[in-house]
Amino acid sequence: MEKGSLTVMKRLAQILTTLGILLLVGGWWVGYRGDMALAKKQEAKTVKVRLVEGGMRPSFAPNLAASGGASEGLMAGAGIEVPTVVRSDKEWANRLTIEQFRVGRTHGTERAFCGVFHDNKKNGVYFCAGCGLPLFKSDHKFDSGTGWPSFFQPFAEENIGETTDNSYGMSRTEVHCVRCGTHLGHVFPDGPKPTGLRYCINSAVLNFQESGPEPKTATLLLGAGCFWGVQAAFDELPGVTKTEVGYSGGWTKNPTYKEVCGDGTGHAEVVKVEYDPAKVSTEKVLEYFFKIHDPTTLNRQGPDVGDQYRSAIYFTRPEQESAARKVIAKLTEAKKFSRPIVTQVDLAGPYAEAEDYHQKYHAKHGGGCSVPR
């Protein structure tokens, strides 16, 4: 072979090698940029709050009214650092009703005597409609005659933020959820003893959970990668009564699989897990969840890359958040993973059931995903 031909072939090999290296680096960079983008989104500030300690009062527990209130089944736990909740207006609009958005995100006020909770006399705890943070207890509620729910103290002082409101030619103290910034109302120094305060709150921005026994069925929305394998795994867990795959955590209403895969909806592939708390606790469900996927990789599981494959726990009851954060803390302390857990923990938003051909996919077609156990 001529010397010139050898030189050309050698040069061609060098070019191909360089192109291969560039492709590898390019692929890594795209994945890195995707991971960093999600990391930046999740890199929210942290605030110290108090979550619900334990679950609802069990049905066999004695009446707690004589010892200070029937809602004592839901107590404030120790202070814990949690990320602030930051959402775009599009995300808030998908999660909230028109009235909730008007009041909570634009500092509106509902009409007096029209809110659903102004005369609520049931025992329980009031939570932020935006992020699920406990805000007030029924034990601290009183009839102020103003037409708005009134409380003489919050569930925990750490959970309420305050700002000065100088609107309408007066100076008032505005109060909001310290984690997500949802506007709640105002606090005035004309309340009853022992605090002398009156938290005047809009019903629209509250959710209420009544004290009592745990429900016969509880629900979690769990994201752990491709939902085919995750559903198959949870179908094997004793105590789970029903599973269904779908989409949640984003802003697009009624998304399709194609749209979710297009990375423009914000939704994750999730499994709607219904379970019997009498047979399997929330902690056990979540410990199993962490066994069947890698919670340390941002917006990916193995070869599946995209924010739809993120690790996520969307709770439907506030005590489930406490359980999730306790399990994460326990796994972190035990150093079960070599990298930090990046699982998103958030109040469940709108959920859309996936197309029928995705339901029980492995049961219908056989095979299975590689799921760590």
Alpha helices in 240-317 (DSSP H): 257-261, 282-291
**pLDDT for the residue 108:** 97
Nearest one of 342, 60, 18, 32 to 213, comparing CA atoms: 60
Q: Is the pLDDT assigned to residue 320 strictly greater than 50?
A: yes
Q: Given the residues 131, 177, 180, 200, select the one marked as catalytic.
A: 200
**pLDDT for the residue 324:** 97
User: Vertex 200, ends 214 and 208: CA angle to 5°?
Assistant: 15
The sign one gets for the Cα dihedral 16, 21, 22, 23 is positive
Helices (H) and strands (E) in the chain, counts: 8, 19
Question: Rounded mean pLDDT of 198-214?
Answer: 95
**pLDDT for the residue 28:** 42
Cα separation, 152 vs 305, whole angstroms: 49
Question: Rounded mean pLDDT of 180-184?
Answer: 98
User: Vertex 144, ends 106 and 128: CA angle to 5°?
Assistant: 40
**pLDDT for the residue 38:** 43
53: confidence class by pLDDT, cuts 50, 70, 90: confident
Say whether 346 sits in a helix, a strand or coil. strand
**pLDDT for the residue 78:** 76
**What is the CB neighbour count within 10 angstroms for residue 258?**
8
Cα separation, 88 vs 265, whole angstroms: 13
Is residue 220 within 8 A of residue 316, CB to CB? The reply is yes
14: confidence class by pLDDT, cuts 50, 70, 90: low
Quote the percentage of the chain above a pLDDT of 70.
Answer: 80
Looking at domain 218-365, its CATH architecture is 2-Layer Sandwich (3.30)
**pLDDT for the residue 72:** 44
**pLDDT for the residue 213:** 86
Report the amino acid identity of residue 357: Y
8: confidence class by pLDDT, cuts 50, 70, 90: low
15: confidence class by pLDDT, cuts 50, 70, 90: low
Tens of pLDDT, residue by residue over 132-150, are 999 999 999 999 999 999 9
12: confidence class by pLDDT, cuts 50, 70, 90: low
253: confidence class by pLDDT, cuts 50, 70, 90: very high
Report the amino acid identity of residue 275: Y
Cα separation, 373 vs 368, whole angstroms: 13
Cβ-Cβ contacts under 8 Å for 211 (sequence gap 6 or more) = 56, 57, 70, 71, 73, 74, 123, 124, 125, 138
Nearest one of 222, 237, 225, 313 to 275, comparing CA atoms: 237
Which pTM was predicted? 0.83
The mean-pLDDT minimum among 18-27, 179-188, 237-246, 278-287 falls in 18-27
Catalytic residue list contains 114: no
**pLDDT for the residue 40:** 42
Is residue 155 within 8 A of residue 176, CB to CB? The reply is no
10: confidence class by pLDDT, cuts 50, 70, 90: low
Is residue 249 within 8 A of residue 354, CB to CB? The reply is no
The mean-pLDDT minimum among 40-44, 79-83, 132-136 falls in 40-44
Beta strand 311-315 with 344-347 is: parallel
Is residue 206 within 8 A of residue 126, CB to CB? The reply is yes
Q: State phi, psi for 335 to the nearest 5 degrees.
A: 55, 50
As a whole number of Å, the end-to-end CA separation of the chain is 57
Specify the domain boundaries for CATH 3.30.1060.10 within the chain: 218-365
The mean-pLDDT minimum among 8-22, 208-222, 284-298, 331-345 falls in 8-22
Cα separation, 289 vs 350, whole angstroms: 21
Catalytic residue list contains 226: yes
Tell me the helix, strand and coil percentages in the chain, rounded to 5. 35, 25, 40
**pLDDT for the residue 214:** 82
Cα separation, 148 vs 339, whole angstroms: 48
Q: Given the residues 128, 177, 180, 226, select the one marked as catalytic.
A: 226
Beta strand 240-248 with 198-201 is: unpaired
Please name the residue that has the structure tokens 């709108």: 350
When the pLDDT of each residue in the chain is averaged and rounded to a whole number, the result is 86
Cα separation, 208 vs 356, whole angstroms: 33
Cα separation, 126 vs 73, whole angstroms: 13
User: Vertex 56, ends 183 and 277: CA angle to 5°?
Assistant: 115
Specify the domain boundaries for CATH 2.170.150.20 within the chain: 46-210
Say whether 351 sits in a helix, a strand or coil. strand
Q: How far is CA 201 from CA 71, 113, 149, 348, in A?
A: 19, 12, 5, 23
Question: Rounded mean pLDDT of 64-69?
Answer: 31
Class of CATH domain 46-210? mainly beta
The mean-pLDDT minimum among 25-39, 86-100, 279-293, 294-308 falls in 25-39
